[in-house]
Amino acid sequence: MGDLSLAELWSDTLDESVGFVINASAVRTKATNSNREASHQGPLRRIVLSTSGSNGPSKSDHSWVFRASDTFDLTTYQPVPGDILSVDWDLVEIGSLVSPFDYLSKSTTPAGAMLRELSAITTPQNGYGPTATKPLSLSDVEVVAVTTHRYRSVRELLKSIRSVLGNEIGVTVVVQGPRTLRWSLLGHRFNATVIHTDWDAGLSASRNLGVANCQRELVFLMDDDFQIDERCRLSAALQILDQNQDIAVLGGNLLDVPSWNTPRNRERSQGYALKMLSGRPNVRLLRLEDGPRRKIYSNPSTYFEDCDVVDNFALFRRELVFGRGASWSERLKIESEHLDFYLRLSSMKIGRVARTNALKVRNVRVQDSRFRKLRMRSEFWFYFFDDLELSSFEIHGERIRSRAVDGRHAVLRYRDRKIIFDSKPSGGES
């Protein structure tokens, strides 16, 4: 890789006086060279600050060789034209580059591209950085999935989990339905804990039950119709959590397909990660894909983006989230329970919510008539509005649901400009 002009680097920033810190603690030796700086023991790293002269680049006295414990601080350095930052690739494999300026990591200029290739770029916010005392591992993860007695879906989910993620992670499945020998054998076959609850107990109550059964550090929430493949890069997601201790929830992206055998070229990205534009009583949310992207890289191929709502494929820090009292509202059995959870979580201000490209999963949307009937109940939207005292709820550019003067809800779909009036079923809860 060539040299990077510091003048070019600083042109990416908003403040010409800023710098960055290179943390050598994460550096691993790629090739040792006993002839170079032999007095230093352990992994070495050399950063050279050069000055271009009339006869080409010539080294100045700004040259450093690191041990793993050393830190090279450029935050006080004032660049001048011709200064060049270069890395001795023969000596080391690049480790971590820690910058307090996240726009460096998302720059589309050659300097930004070089920084992403140079190392893993993180942007610690609120003082957080790569400070985990014990790196997270697969043994710290427990999957929690809820099903409405959909045996085939759960079987495919468990088979894919064990095939791709291995046997270290724990798995808990909550079945809304009676205990049968078939479910017991399925749990035994895939080393999963199977808990049964009443039929139509609801997603919220069932998830709360599954989380209460979990003893590991991370809860990996999934739906029963997921199919895991190699695009679920769980180790990369754990690295993000290690480097960003204030991320409470790290979600992924669903790739919708109509059947288990659907080819990848027919997958449709759901993209259900949302930023909050305004809060209660008039909640407005925007999909990440519809606004300016702000990607933060943890390594050259993995990034995350801050948001407020992620899909049901997410890692939760158990103590930080559920230990602080977060839970799903058991009055909301399905549909609105998801948004209610994240709106309440946002008001608790216990940590960041983010989505990463390291977590992708196929969402096999096989729905029988019984499941569809359970899902399409509108009363839970009314409870959602009442419980949070909402006047309107909007996903920008897609749809808006608002209270009508006669007590009904008016639902406008922007795509076809069609308004549907929704009435609370008679005899429902108030």
What would the pLDDT profile of 233-268 be if each residue is shown by its tens digit? 999 999 999 999 999 999 999 999 999 899 999 999
Task: Specify the higher pLDDT residue, 14 or 110.
Answer: 110
What would the pLDDT profile of 29-53 be if each residue is shown by its tens digit? 222 333 322 222 333 333 333 333 3
- Three-class secondary structure assignment of the chain: CCCEEHHHHHHCCCCCCCCCEEEHHHCEECCCCCCCCCCCCCCCEEEEEEEEECCEEEEEEEEEEECCCCEEECCCCCCCCCEEEEECCCCEECCEEECCCHHHCCCCCHHHHHHHHHCEEECCCCCCCCCCCCCCCHHHEEEEEEECCCHHHHHHHHHHHHHHHCCCCEEEEEEECCCCHHHHHHHHHCCCEEEEECCCCCHHHHHHHHHHHCCCCEEEEEECCEECCCCECHHHHHHHHHHCCCEEEEEEEEEEECCCCCCHHHCEECCCCEEEEECCCEEEEEEHHHCCCCCEEEECCEEEEEECECCCCEEEEHHHHHHHCCCCCCCCCCCCHHHHHHHHHHHHCCCEEEEEEEEEEEEECCCCHHHHHHHCCCHHHHHHHHHHCCCEEEECCCEEEEECCCCCEEEEECCCCEEEEECCCCCCCC
At residue 356, the pLDDT reads 97
What would the pLDDT profile of 134-189 be if each residue is shown by its tens digit? 899 999 999 999 998 899 999 999 999 999 999 999 999 999 999 999 999 999 99
pLDDT of 232 strictly over 80: yes
Six token digits for residue 53:
């002269």
pLDDT of 192 strictly over 60: yes
pLDDT of 199 strictly over 80: yes
Q: Which of 273-282, 298-307, 335-344, 370-379 has the lowest mean pLDDT?
A: 370-379
**CA–CA gap between residue 219 and residue 141 (Å, rounded):** 6
At residue 36, the pLDDT reads 29
At residue 383, the pLDDT reads 92
**CA–CA gap between residue 272 and residue 362 (Å, rounded):** 14
> What angle is formed at CA 339 by the lines to CA 205 and CA 165, rounded to 5 degrees?
70
Which amino acid is it at 203?
L
How far is CA 226 from each of CA 119, 161, 275, 341, rounded to the nearest angstrom?
A: 33, 10, 24, 21
What would the pLDDT profile of 103-121 be if each residue is shown by its tens digit? 434 444 444 454 444 433 3
CB 222 within 8 A of CB 157: yes
Six token digits for residue 323:
């230990």
- If you average pLDDT over residues 49-72, what whole number do you get? 35
At residue 416, the pLDDT reads 80
CB 122 within 8 A of CB 144: no
Residue 284 backbone dihedrals phi, psi, to 5 degrees:
-130, 130
At residue 213, the pLDDT reads 94
> What angle is formed at CA 325 by the lines to CA 294 and CA 318, rounded to 5 degrees?
60
Highest mean pLDDT among 8-17, 121-130, 277-286: 277-286
CB 60 within 8 A of CB 49: yes
- Mean pLDDT score across all residues of the chain: 75
